[in-house]
Amino acid sequence: MTPATPIRSIAPDDPDAPALIEAAAMLRAGGLVAFPTETVYGLGADATNPEAVARIFLAKGRPSTNPLIVHADGPDLARRCVSVWPEAAETLARHFWPGPLTLVLPRSPLIPDIVTGGRDTVGVRVPDVGVARALIERVGRPLAAPSANRSNRISPTRAEHVSRDLDGRIDLILDAGPTAVGLESTVLDLTSKPPRILRPGPIDADQLAAVLGVPVLSSVSSESLPLADRAAASPGLMAIHYAPRTPAIRLEPGSPPPAIPAETSVALIVFGPLAPELGSLRPSLRIDLPDPARASRTLYDSLHCCDASGASLIIVRMPPDHPSWAAVRDRLQRATTVPEPPLPARPLT
């Protein structure tokens, strides 16, 4: 079957590609275009056009309270989206932009309510892919762009992933191959003192603190806050997010696998050598992501592969609880559940 949404191949650094000109015209007319960034593929709409932004929420099935990140082609346009530009924003923008860092700041009148879910703050960033910036420049307006997947599904790191989830629901997909970073941006709230990470990502608290010269609070652990507080602070902290279609459970290092019926076909994801306690598993697919950079780049692709493999259960053996694995662990905590504990033995009567 031919896809209903056209997919156009494009070189990541070609600002004059015909597909880019077509995409910019669609966006200016209020359309939806999926485009590559260094983190994941984004689903872009003109951030200054409330009707266009409403189509993002519809296409994704995203709750209207979940704010969208606004993408700019450089710091000048980013500054027009916010009403305050503190010294810290200038320092971080100089150091990390273009790159996977979203800054949350008070919003300017350029950004309509629908983008921020009614909040008086907006998240802005400058993506580190030439065609993404060239696209924004051609449109001449900031682009609201969440990940180009159905709400609560795994984020797309390839154009095929976008097509699988959103074919027929959006106007165009620009395909520049797999994304280089592979996990969503770090979201940093600069309206709180000290600055606070709302969503862990490729740039960690230590890197931010080193550049700012002040401490930065790490993200509140997704499991340490009541659900309502989590959603209010930053919907990206919701416990269930980024989930594969196949049931997926996680095992912390040292935990034995639960009893699994013989007919269950298991896809296993490990982060380093196979732990002895997992030796009894006979997975139909095994994926090893040995270091944080590789894991970040290919985690979502791996989950997509597990879904496509026909396995009936995904078992993820978690990487160690170490800062270098924080963003990967964070996404895995939302993509998987903890196995049910075995029933306690009945006391003899």
* DSSP run (H or E) holding 8: strand 7-9
**Minimum separation from the CB atom of position 66 to ligand AMP (A):** 5
Q: Which of 98, 146, 156, 244: binder of ligand AMP (CB under 6 A)?
A: 146
Q: Coil, strand or helix: which one is 341? A: coil
Binding window for ligand AMP (CB under 6 A); candidates: 19-27, 121-129, 206-214, 325-333: 121-129
Q: Which of 37, 48, 49, 116: binder of ligand AMP (CB under 6 A)?
A: 116
For tokens 């449109």, the residue is 139
Nearer to Mg ion, 48 or 147 (CB): 147
Nearer to ligand AMP, 49 or 121 (CB): 121
What is the four-CA torsion angle of 255, 318, 227, 340, rounded to 10 degrees?
A: -30
Alpha-helical regions (H) of 2-129: 18-28, 50-60, 75-80, 87-96, 113-116
Nearer to ligand AMP, 165 or 184 (CB): 184
Q: How far apart are CA 50 and CA 233, in angstroms?
A: 23
Q: How far apart are CA 95 and CA 99, in angstroms?
A: 9
Please, which residues bridge with residue 106 across strands? Answer: 121
Residue type for position 214: V
Q: Which of 75, 130, 235, 247: binder of ligand AMP (CB under 6 A)?
A: 235
**Minimum separation from the CB atom of position 6 to ligand AMP (A):** 23
Binding window for ligand AMP (CB under 6 A); candidates: 29-37, 114-122, 262-270, 289-297: 114-122
| C-alpha to C-alpha distances, 214 to 94, 188, 199, nearest whole angstrom | 17, 14, 19
Determine, following the binding rule CB under 6 A, whether residue 236 of this chain makes contact with ligand AMP. yes
Q: Which residues contact 341 (CB under 8 A, 6 or more apart)?
A: none
What character string, x for contact with Mg ion (CB under 5 A) and - otherwise, covers 144-173?
---x--------------------------
* Contacts of ligand AMP in 158-197 (CB under 6 A): 184, 187
Other residues' Cβ atoms within 10 Å of the Cβ of residue 259: 7
Name which of Mg ion, ligand AMP, none residue 236 binds, using a CB cut-off of 5 to 8 Å depending on partner kind.
Answer: ligand AMP
Interacting residue ranges for ligand AMP, rule: CB under 6 A? 66-69, 104, 116, 119, 121-123, 146-147, 184, 187, 198-199, 234-236
